[in-house]
Amino acid sequence: MSRSPVILGLNSVYHESSACLVRGADLLAFAEEDRFNRIKHAKTAKIDNADELPRNAIDYCLATASLGWRDIDFVAMSFDPDRRSAPGPEPTVVGGWGDPDGEREFIRRVRSIPARLSQYAGVDLTTKCMWVPHEYAHAASAFYPSSYREAAVLSLDGIGEYSTGLLAHGSSSGIEELGCLYYPNSIGMIWEKISKFIGLNEYDAAKVMGLAAFASPEKFVPDMKQLFFDGSKSMDVDIDILRFRVEDYAPLEELFGPRRQRGERIDTRDAQLAAALQQVTEEALLSFCTELADRTGSENLCLAGGVALNCVANGRLAREGQFRSIFVQPMAHDAGTALGAALQINQAESGGRFEMVSPYLGPGYSEAEMESELARSGLPWSRLPDAPAAVARLIAAGQIGGWFQGRAEVGPRALGNRSILADPRRPGSKELINLRVKHREYFRPFAPSVLAEAAHDWFEIFGESRSFEFMSFAFAVRRDKYPLVPAVLHVDGTSRLQIVRQATNPRYHRLISEFEKLTGVPLLLNTSFNTSDEPIVLSPGDAIRTFQNTGLDFLVLGDFLVSRPLTAEWSI
């Protein structure tokens, strides 16, 4: 093949369904299905939907790249059914995960994906489909887009086929496996189980991470270590207690007391449990990374898998770990495996290497599309001659608003193109956003976006990482700055910060710079532009609907401003 092959990467077996197109060193398109179908995580991981394709994401990628199905040389799928091991002895639900009948049906559906894709395409793609092991797809999503020529690589998540983690070394030769974790030794699944134990759901790891700062971990650390290690120095999960495959919490209740029911008020016990889970997770990550540093001799570390979204643990790795530089894939959850699977095949077929210099890889919309949606909405709007300066003035005056610009950021965190923005100086900003839009729990912090030029003056930042731009690390706020930014200061004195560089996002950088001119504070409160029950907005229509259904003061689409009169109810 004289040209670099065109590779369609797909993730669709569990959740966070996504698609991408890669050719040589170029990422032609990437999209997450939930942004289109407006269902959080695109779908819930079930046995009977493992063959459900991310059709909207696929269609977007093909249209954006101006390619047809016959232009596809390979289809890389981030799951290898041949690696799914026979279920072991553990409590299961008949026909469910881990049950022999359930597992057979699951694998049958996974193996049907090439045929289903061919049927959708109207072209036989079955001979072009290639299975990529899930953890390798995670690892590839982090190593190949990094700028490192070589690096230690760590992937940790819930479960792939049967593996739950991968320790590896990345180099020009590819990704060399150094060690693997296998079910039930899963940090991700422990977080899911404990999240449900304290009355949340399996997708609420970020909430548990925020809750952990409200208590001391000591009370439950010994028992939590028993869950992780079962008396061993290496990970050895006690499946008799955790019972991942069934909604049985009796063994956990013997250790930690009654399970919190959904909707019940979370109390000190739950915070202590979250704190213990966070501490033991950090210690496990430090142990894995120490092993990787010793075995690879590398100064660089690449992280992926859902566990890599734990910004508190990442901050500790930056402070205490043995690596000079850390790259965290911003879509470290399963959405990133579509990219990783494509890059893994791309490495073998072309050797080209895509480098991720920006997280703004999703769909974008033209000014005409924005204006058309505004006209359709019937809302009054105006064009701003200088949107960054105008919005800085609105925020400095205490207003909160939606900021919709350029191409969408990828991954679960808003990074300044699909964001709700507020004044970090005002103690009430957090409560105001929760009252009007988010309706989040009191223990969940909001994040700051800070100018790169001022970041070290405001935060205690360790090491080097392009991922500081991806909101992947929590660092301490400098103590003399505490009184200046109470709305983004977590109870433990940290913030999950995003560094904003002019070269990466000039418009957002300009907005924060204008805010600094007005206030002397070089950062803004930034949270994702969505309500609690929907994915981050993607299109102008999504942004307008969310604006209409919430109490945001204003919405800016490109240079277009939509605002509503302030009332006593919404005033600060």
Residues annotated as catalytic are 15
Return d(Cα 252, Cα 198) in angstroms, integer: 11
Return d(Cα 163, Cα 555) in angstroms, integer: 44
Rg (Cα) of the chain, in Å, rounded? 23
DSSP, collapsed to helix, strand or coil, labels residue 497 as strand
* Nearest residue to 274 (alpha-carbon basis) of 193, 211, 189: 211
Peptide bond just before 184 cis, omega within 30 deg: yes
DSSP string for residues in 298-346? -SEEEEESGGGG-HHHHHHHHHHSS-SEEEE-TTTTTTHHHHHHHHHHH
C-beta of residue 31 within 8 angstroms of C-beta of residue 63: no
Q: What angle do CA 326, 410, 417 make, to 5 degrees?
A: 110
* Nearest residue to 256 (alpha-carbon basis) of 267, 243, 270, 277: 270
C-beta of residue 319 within 8 angstroms of C-beta of residue 10: no
Q: Which residues of 159-174 are buried (b: 16+ CB within 10 A; e: fewer)?
A: bbbbbbbbbbbbeeeb
C-beta of residue 406 within 8 angstroms of C-beta of residue 364: yes
Using alpha carbons, list the distances in angstroms from residue 434 to 263, 427, 441, 446, 532. Answer: 17, 13, 8, 10, 10
Give the neighbor-by-neighbor strand order of the sheet with 74-77. 26-32, 18-23, 6-11, 74-77, 129-131
Q: Which residues of 293-329 are buried (b: 16+ CB within 10 A; e: fewer)?
A: beebebebbbbbbbbbbbbbbbbbbbeebebebbbbb
DSSP, collapsed to helix, strand or coil, labels residue 169 as strand
* Nearest residue to 436 (alpha-carbon basis) of 540, 557, 548, 537: 548
Return d(Cα 561, Cα 188) in angstroms, integer: 42
Determine whether 86 is exposed, middle or buried from the number of CB atoms within 10 Å of its CB (0-12, 13-18, 19+).
exposed
**Residue 226 neighbours by CB distance under 10 Å:** 16
